[in-house]
Amino acid sequence: MTRVSAPPQGASARERARALLPQAAVLGGAAGVALVVAFRGDPNEAGHYPGCPFLTMTGYYCPGCGMTRLVYALTHGDVGAAFGYNPLLFALLPVFGYLHVRWTVRTAQGLPMRTVLFRPAVVYSFLGLVAVYWVVRNLPFASALAP
């Protein structure tokens, strides 16, 4: 895997703009997905989107179940419903936004992306949180976590 590095401090405006292409692609992709979900149709009605393959095969919710409905609810201003569809993702959206802004700013400044969030202990803790969320949202007492 190739690593995209930030342009050096004395880089030209063109080099800096080129270094921001990955950030623009991520932002554009996220905006595109949100627009498609917002205008394609209500995911709560059958036939608009494919269902979760993990749920279909096992009958259990995966950590991502409810994401499409969350995006639909957010794009229509229903924050409470969005939280109910996938509380973990809802809570992580500000973290993802912060990371994207930080990545963009540091690249524009010609600095490498460094954050405590990418340290192994934090990554393993995050993966553990997702695994616990995956199990707990399928338990009978935690039906509030189900989409």
pLDDT digits (tens, 9 = 90+) for 45-71: 877 788 888 888 998 999 988 899 999
Tokens 């709560």 appear where?
Answer: 44
Average confidence (pLDDT) over 8-15:
69
Average confidence (pLDDT) over 95-121:
85
Q: Are 71 and 37 in contact (CB under 8 A)?
A: yes
* Residues near 3 by beta carbon (within 8 Å), at least 6 away in sequence: none
**Segments in the chain forming alpha helices (H):** 13-19, 21-40, 53-58, 67-75, 79-85, 87-108, 120-136
Q: What is the per-residue pLDDT for 1? A: 42
Q: What is the per-residue pLDDT for 82? A: 92
Q: Which residue has the higher pLDDT, 29 or 42?
A: 29
pLDDT averaged over the chain? Answer: 86
Q: What is the per-residue pLDDT for 90? A: 95
